[in-house]
Structure 1
Amino acid sequence: MKSTVFGKLPDGKDVRIFTLQNGDVTVKILNYGAVIQSMVAPDRQGNLADIILGYDSFTPYISNPTFMGAVAGRYANRIANGAFELDGKRYNLARNNGPNSLHGGINKPLHQAWWEPWTVDDHTLELTHKSKAMEDGFPGNVNFKITYSLSKQNELSIQYRAETDEPTVINLTNHSYFNLSGKNQLIYDHELMIDSQEILKLNEYQIPINYMPVTGTPYDFSEPKQVGQDIHAQHEQLKIGNGYDVNWVVNPEMKPKKHVASLSHPRTGRKLDVFTSEPGIQVYTANYLDHPGKGGQHYQKHFGICLETQHYPDSPNRPEFPSTVLRPGEVFQSETIFQCGVV
């Protein structure tokens, strides 16, 4: 597997960029933030283009406030009021999203961590990281492993694994922004299908309050629909998120490799299918993007779409949701697959 130095951290550690190539797809991954820096895929004419937003140099990835291509954790998404109770003990977390904790906090989140790289073969990269107890308020020393593997069938598999020495909560996802056009433009003409009949309805702080059927709402993507068709509708949930930014219930039984979503771009023919063992998928339409990106471009609102497979937001405070608790002797395991194709 080819790798080169992409940058250097203030402590002198090298950050490398690893190239996975198989089938018709090439993926580049950093061992900082476990970032997917690029994914190059063909259109129906065989023309190649990068379908992931990001940066050409390392410096913007150091803080990476919009989580470009990165793993989000220890707990992806929001925890209400930056706190939860576990086994009768209250844990107070770093609050970085109004009153909430978002994507692991602000001091030692996984998207700002250096990961030890291990190349298994030309198509498989393992990244490991040890998160110390009470970083950003989370209990337990946790050993994380993320395995990226690219198949001849153009499938990028992301396998997550975690073990802890004391009870804690874990929720991991990848926060890549996709634009299948391969260009710096709005994603309104993308067609999205989500295999779901309900979302988690949010309060004003984007914390789930109950389940909401999608039928008859802008959130019904049970059949392919253009992302831009209803994104500006006068709907309470769209106003809260400034666009789409909710969790669809897609796999409550947590079946392995369940097909949960498809994204396609009719003009180029590029298609992305999403398979996962996770119960939910947070679809986020880049509602606050406004900064420079690759190739001297300037990314703007709705220039990308995130398909974040994960457990539900605020699960540590919601016993009725699938549990995110991990205890000593147990292993957290999850897999998500992004498969590139054409239509």
Structure 2
Amino acid sequence: MATIALANLHKRFGDFVAVRNTNLTVGAGRFVVLLGPSGCGKTTTLRMIAGLELPSAGRILIDGEDVTALRARERDIAFVFQMFALYPHMTVRDNIAFPLRNEHVPRHEIASRVGAAARMLRIEGILDRKTGGLSGGDRQRVALGRAIVRQPKAFLMDEPLGTLDADFRELMCLELRKLHNALAATTVYVTHDQSEAMAMADDIVVMNEGEVLQAASPHEIYHYPATVFVGNFIGSPPMNFLPVDGAVAAGQEQVLLHGAPVPVPRCGQAAGRVLLGIRPEHLALDERGPLRGRVVADEYLGSHQVLMIETALGMVRARVGKDAGLAAGAPVGLSLRRERALLYDQSSGRLLPGATQAGGGHG
């Protein structure tokens, strides 16, 4: 297990800044997911940790050692790519053993490590098959096995499930998490898929345009997104953001939405316009509710429905019971769970100070 620390890490490609002054610590034994849209800087960050890209500025430390200038092979990490990079003419056994043979590990130890990895990944039955004819899932297991046998300080994974179909990807998420628990190894994992991140991560690092917007547990990221971008990116459907009438003063416990008073948690003062953020499941159908509108459409999901409701403040999504029985055009009222309402500065998109403390803990 190793701690990985990034200090003012910066990467520029000509005039394009891919990663901007990033400070981040990955705790020993943690499963940390770098999450964000394409081009946000997550893969570039991972490649710098691996030694496949040199930073333009800043430092990378692994277990307190400055490895910024070290080559990839000198960092004692294992990298798993989206494209499995296996040797199709070799057997599974030889693919897994390949890095150990390059390091001149004794034969008996190679056999022992390959056998242990195969048992952990449940691929003992295909060790003598060529990798060229394997399914995508089996090839991914072989790629993981080749990383495991090295017994590195940390595992770095770049969208390793990206080529798998949806059902098998869900299964492999579970398998990867179980594997991490068994190895207790530090893992940094890159994906653009929030469901993968929420299913596996101890901590999620949300990035956009080269910057880290929030680094926290999945629970914290979901319930207290630090910015409007994070609230929109995390959650399906995403968080609703509604413009608040007028200014918000420090300690204020009520705001106006299109003239209707709405109770909110106490928070810090905003310098300008404010948005109220609320998750769809924290809205409730209420004939006397302050938010009024008409149903435009509904998405039936078996256990619940997601209503798209047109209001004077824009389109609002509400997650309601499966038997709500509201047809398109039906008038509705909505109330908001006070303890789950969050206030954001509209110009910066950032959560106002005090929101996490005011939100009634993490329940």
Tell me the TM-score normalised to structure 2 length: 0.22
Bigger CA radius of gyration? 2
RCO comparison, higher one (Cα < 8 Å, 6+): 1
Larger proportion of strand:
1
